[in-house]
Structure 1
Amino acid sequence: MKARLACADSFDLHFQRERGRLRFKALVCGLLTAAAIGCAALPTRAQDKAAKNAPVETVAPEEKPAPYDDRLARLSEIMGAVHYLRNLCVAGGEPEWRDAIQKLIDSETANEPKRKARMIAAYNRGYRSFASVYTTCTPAAATAEENYRNEGATLAVEIASRFGN
């Protein structure tokens, strides 16, 4: 009987050791699983932080050309030419041509940088085209200025009457 108890105690002790090992293994497996899940989530969190810190890219609204953009660019070019010629031929100069085109550009192209750049380029093209030819006021420069003013007035009336409110 004593042998049986010793055998049972030995078995019980062996069983307890095995149970302890199994619990330890289960605990280690659980910790490893939790660590693996936690590590898998880390890159996502890092990406989330990077996304939060990254600058937000705003998409500019698509610029649709107005049906009168070509005429408006021509008017801008004419105003550039007239501005140069008037300042060349009038003693005190006339800054109102430059101010007028600036107001027109600002009102027409408020949130459209590409349209604004095209209108400014047209104005500068008109200004520079005469700056490269005339350095003093000549009768031809005065005639050109008058012709451009007439064309500009006609074009402004046409744009306003055809496309205005």
Structure 2
Amino acid sequence: MAKLVQALALLSILVPAAATAQAPRASSPVPLPPAALRAPYEPQLVRLSEIMGALHYLRTLCEGPEGGAWRREMQALLDAEAAGGERRERLVQAFNRGYGGFEQTHRTCAPAARLATRRYVAEARKLVSEITSRYGN
């Protein structure tokens, strides 16, 4: 848990204050197997992974390369929470789903892409705060 709190603390540095509007939810959430539900924050980690994938694409599209900052943060999250196995695969799939969803629909930094970025940053901040305050030691 301490490694997760450290990874989320690093993530909070990358997530600047933004609008508090709720980001759109994925159309069909990925069902979690019973074993994954042992960690009470598993659904939030999956959602955070998806948001990080979307931000990785959107920030590169709208603000130029960040040197892979969101990908590095995803790697830190994986290192802290899912060194291997089914859980890691689920988090990676969520990241890729977030990235791919916007890659298919946005080719330029249009106002809709900037709005989605702000909403995802706000949701990521909320998730990070919730996970660290509720489950951190």
Answering whether residue 136 of structure 2 is matched by residue 164 of structure 1, we say: yes
CA shift at 1:94, angstroms?
4.3
| Percent sequence identity over aligned pairs | 47
In structure 1, C-alpha distance between the alignment counterparts of 2:57 and 2:65, rounded to whole Å:
13
TM-score, scaled to structure 1 = 0.59
Answering whether residue 89 of structure 2 is matched by residue 117 of structure 1, we say: yes
1:114-164 deviation digits (Å, cap 9, x = unpaired): 100000000001011111110111011011001101100111110111111
Runs of 4+ in 1 over 6 A off after TM superposition: none
- Structure number with larger C-alpha Rg: 1
| Greater fraction of residues in helix | 1
How many positions carry a matched residue from both structures?
103
The partner residue of 1:72 within 40, 45, 48 is 45
Verify the 8 A CA contact 1:83 1:94 in the aligned structure 2: no
What one-letter code is carried by the residue in structure 2 that aligns with 1:137? C
What one-letter code is carried by the residue in structure 2 that aligns with 1:144? A
What one-letter code is carried by the residue in structure 1 that aligns with 2:76? K
CA RMSD of aligned residues (A): 1.5
In structure 2, C-alpha distance between the alignment counterparts of 1:75 and 1:116, rounded to whole Å:
13
2:3: which partner in 1?
none
Answering whether residue 124 of structure 2 is matched by residue 152 of structure 1, we say: yes
In structure 2, C-alpha distance between the alignment counterparts of 1:76 and 1:103, rounded to whole Å:
11
Runs of 5+ unmatched residues, structure 2: 1-34
2:72: which partner in 1?
99
Change (3 A) 1:120 1:92: closer
